[in-house]
């Protein structure tokens, strides 16, 4: 239960910070999501630092890792976890898994977004005319 609470608290804090950065940096004029990009890059850097420190020494405990890497970085951006998992594939020399995971994540992720939008539009349109 303690582990779930740590992830919950970290995730909430990460999500709030991502929202603040998005509000401050995303450009309504150009539509370019600078805030999202910044959160993804900062989150990736942060998870690298946290997990790098955890691997190098004992100063970061499992609880710290759950709070900061899993919780905060996970709430701040799931891209950080994606980037770290790809790092593991590359470090182990598993280039096939790296390529498959990366390409599949992008393609299926984009398709899932489009499918979700399509489903909402389809059902919204069909239920509105009833």
- The pLDDT tens digits of the residues spanning 19-40 come to 999 999 988 887 778 888 899 8
SS3 at position 16: helix
Quote the pLDDT of residue 127.
64
Reported residue count of the chain is: 130
Distance between CA 85 and CA 92 in Å, rounded? Answer: 11
Entry pTM: 0.73
Sign of CA dihedral 120, 125, 128, 130: negative
pLDDT in tens, 81-93: 788 888 999 999 9
């Amino acid at each position: 239960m303690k582990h779930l609470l740590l992830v919950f608290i970290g995730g909430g804090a990460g999500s709030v910070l991502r929202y603040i950065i998005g509000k401050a940096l995303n450009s309504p004029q150009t539509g370019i999501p600078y805030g999202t990009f910044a959160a993804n890059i900062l989150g990736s850097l942060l998870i690298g630092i946290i997990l790098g420190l955890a691997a190098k020494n004992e100063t970061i405990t499992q609880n710290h890792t759950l709070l900061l890497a899993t919780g905060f970085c996970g709430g701040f951006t799931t891209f950080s976890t994606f980037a770290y998992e790809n790092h593991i594939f590359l470090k182990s020399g598993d280039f096939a898994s790296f390529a498959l995971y990366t390409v599949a994540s992008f393609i299926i992720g984009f398709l899932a977004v489009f499918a979700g939008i399509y489903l909402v539009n389809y059902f919204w349109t069909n239920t509105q005319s009833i």
